[in-house]
């Protein structure tokens, strides 16, 4: 089960742990991988390209602007934590639900 939790430092925000796999054919949300959400990203992990693609993928899946999703920790690592602002809990629970 993905460890989705409310951000104690930012009211109304959520923390979402992910496992990013760069170099994929296309950007996709794979599904739960232990306590993280696995995402595959086509962009290479250089110059912030993969991080921007991850933010865009998650924001689009939730119907949010890219700026609503930020990297809270792990910007240079495959295991990251995203801060998501403006999303409602049911939408987030659907996002991290069973593998697709």
Domain boundaries in the chain?
Answer: 5-95
pLDDT category at 98 given cuts 50, 70, 90 is low
pLDDT category at 97 given cuts 50, 70, 90 is confident
**Tens digits of residue pLDDT in 12-45:** 999 999 999 999 999 999 999 999 999 999 999 9
pTM to 2 decimals?
0.94
Q: Which CATH superfamily is domain 5-95 in?
A: YggU-like (3.30.1200.10)
Interior/surface letters 7-45, b for 16+ CB within 10 angstroms, e for the rest: beeeeebbbbbbbbbbeeeebebeebeeebbbbbbebeb
- Position 100 scores a pLDDT of 44
């Amino acid at each position: 089960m993905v460890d989705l939790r409310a951000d104690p430092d930012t009211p109304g925000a959520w923390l979402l742990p992910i496992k990013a796999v760069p170099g994929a054919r296309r950007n996709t949300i794979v599904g739960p991988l232990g306590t993280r959400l696995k995402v595959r990203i086509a962009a290479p992990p250089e110059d912030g390209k993969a991080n921007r693609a991850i933010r865009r993928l998650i924001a689009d899946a939730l119907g949010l602007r890219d700026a609503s999703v930020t990297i809270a920790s792990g910007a240079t690592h495959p295991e990251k934590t995203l801060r998501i602002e403006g999303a409602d809990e049911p939408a987030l629970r659907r996002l991290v639900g069973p593998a697709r």
